[in-house]
Amino acid sequence: MSLIKFNGNRFPWNENLSDFFNRDTFVNDDFFNLEKSLPAMNVKEHDDDFEIELAAPGFDKKDFEITMREDVLEVSAQKTKEETEKDEDYARKEFNYNSFKRTMQLPTTVDQNQDVKATYKNGILKLNLLKAEVTKEKPKRVIEVV
């Protein structure tokens, strides 16, 4: 089954409606673009581990939740901030809500039994996932002929 993008202009009853109600315009709005809410990610493979870096500025260490089940790693964060100011003539209340959830399939070479090391510094969340012993390349041995 293939997916086809919905085009509301195909139907005659949509021709007279304003652009506000046009589904294509509404759904393509930047508000609904989920890619912008995901943090940028770098993945590096070393001999002994995988290093994953996520750019997530503005969060605290306590805001993150990192889970690993079978071969799926899920990193999410949520932060809420409320600010209230009251004066004789007015009241002002502002709030800010930031969150993201990033899920990734782990390679079979990751050792699921080892602890994952997670650090957060200067807006970068860094995860280190150790490789399983059997997947590490063994050094080349030279055998001397006698």
- Rg of the chain, C-alpha, whole Å: 24
Q: How far is it, in rounded angstroms, from Cα 63 to Cα 59?
A: 6
Per-residue model confidence (pLDDT) at position 24: 46
Q: In this predicted model, what pLDDT tens digit does every residue of 97-118 receive, in sequence order? A: 888 999 999 888 888 888 889 9
Q: How far is it, in rounded angstroms, from Cα 70 to Cα 117?
A: 17
Q: In this predicted model, what pLDDT tens digit does every residue of 66-88 receive, in sequence order? A: 999 888 999 999 998 888 888 77
- The H-assigned helical ranges of 1-146 are 23-27
Task: Write the CB contacts of 30 (distance below 8 Å, at least 6 apart in sequence).
Answer: 36
Per-residue model confidence (pLDDT) at position 29: 46
Q: How far is CA 111 from the centre of its chain?
A: 21
Q: Can you tell me the mean pLDDT for 53-64?
A: 92
Structural domains in the chain, sorted by start: 8-37 (no CATH), 39-134 (2.60.40.790)
Res. 3: pLDDT tops 70:
no
Q: In this predicted model, what pLDDT tens digit does every residue of 20-37 receive, in sequence order? A: 444 444 444 444 455 557
Per-residue model confidence (pLDDT) at position 27: 45
Q: How far is it, in rounded angstroms, from Cα 115 to Cα 108?
A: 16
DSSP assigned state of 7: -
User: pLDDT band for position 4 (50/70/90)?
Assistant: low
Q: How far is CA 102 from the centre of its chain?
A: 3
